Structure 1
Amino acid sequence: MHNRNSNLAESLNEIFSTKEIELFFNYELNNDDITFLKTCMKEVLTIIPPDAYNCANLSSLLGAVIVDHSKIPIAIMTGHLDYKGSRVFNCEKPISIKTTNTKETLWKGHCWIEFGQYILDISIFRTVYYSENFPPLIKRDIINKYGEGKGAIMIPKDAIEEYGFEYTPCFALNNEQINGLVQGTKEKYLNKN
């Protein structure tokens, strides 16, 4: 966990001040926050039709809603995702600085939200359920463990091994990247005539 926190702090240093990093790590969710987050996740998952590999736009849209309507200090992270020791997504580079693409086809990493002692992944189940080329043994294991029809998962960092997922932070999205992804998502899903 120490190495993970070091990687995370290094990534956050690119987008946050020292005080903001301290607030980020020390934030504790309360019951109102949890209710708010559940409402936001349902809203975002309702707006964006189910599809695989939408981690960047789903996380960015959810992150923007959280930032705009709460005081929860979040970071939208990109990095590697392993499941039970097998690498599922390998992040070799950050997402393009200015992007309005809702799917980064050349980027091979994963995107999620972190705050306090939690990881929130709004996209992994959609990728598992709707991808035609997700590793079949991992897909079957995730479905057996979590079931069908799940939306998002919020994992306490101190119990992450119990969930089977390992999130390795590599880069934090900055406001320019988030705004580009949110704008692309709005254009694709919200501005239909």
Structure 2
Amino acid sequence: MDKLIAATHGRDAARAYRSYVLQPHQRDRAGEIGQDVLRYFARVAGACTGLSAVYATALRGIASLPAYVVAGSLSADGARVFGNDKPVDGKRDFADSNLSWDGHVWVMIGDYVADISIGWTARFGGPSALTTTVAREFGPTAGLLIVKWRDAPLSGLVYSPQYVLSDEQVATLDSSALAAFEKA
């Protein structure tokens, strides 16, 4: 993660990320903010990019948490459900909404994965391996997942980061997601 953060946010941000420790009360607050974000969007699969941008913006603005939006691959119980091994061209893929991009997007807060879209994607049309894993590990009504990155594989989920979105990209996607919600 350090190298990916340094590539889009600079070395100082990468150093700060490496030393940041999310406290339990901050994790709880991140969960509350995530639940609030989920209340405002239609329940659909595949909304990881927009939801993650809105969530990261809220985490930064409301709770002053150092939230990074990360793009990459996701596997569930050993099966790749989103993404591939091809390099992510973040400047192209996240310049605007790209519905053909094959991958997954989540938020990192220190060494925690905060995946705001995983529950909806699992319940409302996601790949069967993801649906099975999420239902087994987190229950049939799962929403937001906040777990230490190193502990995610214990529940069958492997997050493979490939690109960290810039602040400008997050702001653009946040605005696009909010505008789409207003039209819905």
With the length of structure 2 as denominator, give the TM-score of the two structures.
0.89
Structure 1 residue identity aligned to 2:178: K
Equivalence for 1:106: 100
Q: 1:39 aligns with which of 32, 39, 43?
A: 32
Equivalence for 1:156: 148
**Cα pair 2:75 2:157 within 8 Å, conserved:** yes
Q: CA deviation at 1:12?
A: 0.9
Q: How many residues align?
A: 180
Q: 1:57 aligns with which of 42, 50, 62?
A: 50
**Cα pair 1:55 1:110 within 8 Å, conserved:** yes
Q: 1:27 aligns with which of 17, 20, 23?
A: 20
In structure 1, the residue corresponding to 2:9 is in which secondary structure? Answer: coil
**Cα pair 2:45 2:123 within 8 Å, conserved:** yes
Equivalence for 1:126: 120
Equivalence for 1:13: 6
Runs (4+) of structure 1 moved beyond 6 Å? none
**Cα pair 2:34 2:116 within 8 Å, conserved:** yes
Q: CA deviation at 1:156?
A: 1.0
Structure 2: state its 5+ residue gaps: none
Structure 2 residue identity aligned to 1:169: P
Q: CA deviation at 1:96?
A: 2.9
Cα RMSD, aligned residues only: 1.8
Q: Percent identity, aligned pairs only?
A: 20
What are the within-5 Å matches in structure 2 for residues 60-139 of structure 1?
60-91=53-84, 92=86, 93=88, 94=90, 96-99=93-96, 101=97, 104-131=98-125, 134-139=126-131
Structure 1 residue identity aligned to 2:148: P
In structure 2, relative to structure 1, the CA distance for the partners of 1:69 and 1:81 (3 Å cut) is same
**Cα pair 1:24 1:74 within 8 Å, conserved:** no
Q: 1:182 aligns with which of 170, 174, 178?
A: 174
With the length of structure 1 as denominator, give the TM-score of the two structures.
0.85
Q: CA deviation at 1:142?
A: 2.8
**Cα pair 1:98 1:176 within 8 Å, conserved:** no
Q: CA deviation at 1:165?
A: 0.6
Could you give the per-residue CA deviations for residues 104-141 of structure 1, whole angstroms, max 9, x where no partner exists? 3210110001121211101111111001xx33344234
**Cα pair 2:45 2:121 within 8 Å, conserved:** yes
Worse-superposed segment, 68-77 or 88-97? 88-97
Q: CA deviation at 1:38?
A: 1.7
Q: CA deviation at 1:65?
A: 0.7
| Aligned counterparts of 1:130 and 1:173: Cα–Cα separation in 2 | 26
In structure 2, relative to structure 1, the CA distance for the partners of 1:32 and 1:135 (3 Å cut) is closer
Structure 1: state its 5+ residue gaps: 1-7
Could you give the per-residue CA deviations for residues 45-102 of structure 1, whole angstroms, max 9, x where no partner exists? 0011110000000100000011112332221000010112111111543363431x3x
